[in-house]
Chains A and B, each alone.
Chain A
């Protein structure tokens, strides 16, 4: 009895190992060249342009009009400004608006939002450097201290690993006077001195209120922003670009996207539909005239273009051809797959279930029945000796079957003949 039980343990553990290895092997063998369309919004024709580079490079708009590379670049003056200037064809006006080349080169932005980036922000060690925002020097120097906001705001000197009590008391008092409820829930900012200027940090307090905190001439500046994200904040990215009218991008848990404007911390909603931040990736882009948002998942890319003040202009869906050959076979053969990819963004391991669970479970059940019949007919093994194998194959499918085959039929439910 015990030997049968330990044999099942071996098969179970082997199934777990194989549930990582086999889907990876299948994907490697059957993988097609990745489709990586480059979808951009043309301010000239007010349509999306799709550039694909699998095989021969192709450029077309959503109506199917094909373009040469030079025509394509001409339609994207804010992306290919240098080329257009070299050719002397940079347009004086685009849709009636004069956009000087200098503005095209500076008034743009790009932010990526993904579940892994959000996870990395949440798991980060919650200690940050507070830079001088009003320095008399042009460059930003790295401070000697890092701050945390727990029961109070504390500055810890890295050289001595000790709290700077004086500075901590000064900032804690400023926060308390501004109505900050300790501790902080979330701290968002750019903890690097490689930036043109410092805008400080946006800190959400215990009651969900957002405060803007920075340091000017060694003194604390705390501003209550009146921003309260409905449903909670999923991700926040602060941008320090003097040409842009916003402090950063805010994504809420329900999937609403906002810009935090420099004008009185007003929120401007960015046009996007049915965005699930826990599952999908989002690429946010800005050029001198338009905002473009792309929502990406396994199915394809949904693109939204809106004017800079948020008025919707156009949306487009690009459906990926399935990136795996024999995708249906994959979803039938593998009930689930173990993903293990520890990365500095915080990946660990998880389970991806088949997109076609009924087919996958039916396939596993069929394997279990065929296996049992085979052993009954060929080796005359009693059905009750095969119950464990049957259940494991029905649950784990091909993984358990391979483990059972590798383990050998001679040991099924036997003590003798090991």
Chain B
């Protein structure tokens, strides 16, 4: 719990700023969808969603990725910049457990942002759209949440890596990671969630490698 508290103290400003950011996005979404249904034809909006697979709540997608990136940078940049991470790992505690706790803290924060976004989208969907559409909202945003975890993992690996030469190598290796993600339709097969969860587990596990290199004093 100490590590979680330490992470909270370190990230509280970033978390608060991100909360404001997500609240602003939610307000923008609500105002947008309400005015669309008042000014436009509900039939045309429904048809657009059914025929073109438009995600009317797509405004939440990129902010979730930005949140993943931002959390990685705010969490690990101070650690690597001031060499704090090396000290943290030499505390009388298991260093892998320490790293794992740091990662799980951010996963928990990202989960809360995802839940907040999903709740906003779901409330609007339940009000304006039939069951066939609003029942798909949590599933689609769950894909985005897993994608946000991938963004977080890759950004963490690059931020935490102590050697600049090695950072560039890792960037080349992971440059195409965004091609592992993506969803474009409703009613997609659940098997893709399994693929994405495996990908997320792999990428999150990869954070331990630069963490270990950092601890060992790689330059």
Contacts and interface: CB of A to CB of B under 8 A. Distances in A.
Nearest to B213: A418
Interface in B119-178: 127-130, 132-133, 136, 157, 166, 169-170, 172-177
Given A161-B127, A191-B50, A346-B184, A6 B209 contact: yes
A122 B189 CA distance: 11
A378 interface: no
Interface string B187-215: 11100100100010011011011001100
Across the A-B interface, the 8 shortest Cβ-Cβ residue pairs: A14-B173, A342-B182, A6-B209, A342-B184, A21-B176, A158-B42, A418-B218, A123-B187
A233 to B, nearest CB: 17
Contact of B209 (A7, A20, A343, A408): A7
Interface stretch (A124-132, A167-175, A241-249): A124-132
A151 interface: no
A338 B179 contact: yes
A10 B153 CA distance: 11
Interface in A299-351: 338, 340, 342-349
A26 to B, nearest CB: 14
A369 interface: no
A344 B209 contact: no
A403 B173 contact: yes
B205 A9 contact: yes
Nearest to A17: B176
B154 to A, nearest CB: 9
Interface string A246-269: 000000000000000000000000
Nearest to B173: A14
B51 A191 contact: yes
16 contacts: A6-B205, A6-B212, A9-B209, A10-B209, A16-B180, A16-B202, A127-B132, A143-B43, A159-B43, A343-B184, A346-B188, A349-B182, A349-B195, A406-B170, A418-B212, A418-B217
Interface of B: 42-43, 45-47, 49-53, 96, 127-130, 132-133, 136, 157, 166, 169-170, 172-177, 179-180, 182-189, 192, 195, 199, 202-203, 205-206, 208-209, 212-213, 216-218
Contact of B130 (A127, A344, A406, A408): A127
Given A16-B180, A161-B130, A406 B172 contact: yes
A73 B182 CA distance: 45
Interface of A: 2-3, 6-7, 9-10, 12-14, 16-18, 20-21, 120, 122-129, 142-144, 146, 148, 156, 158-159, 161, 191-192, 338, 340, 342-349, 403, 406-408, 411, 415-416, 418
B169 A13 contact: no
Contacts of B136: 125
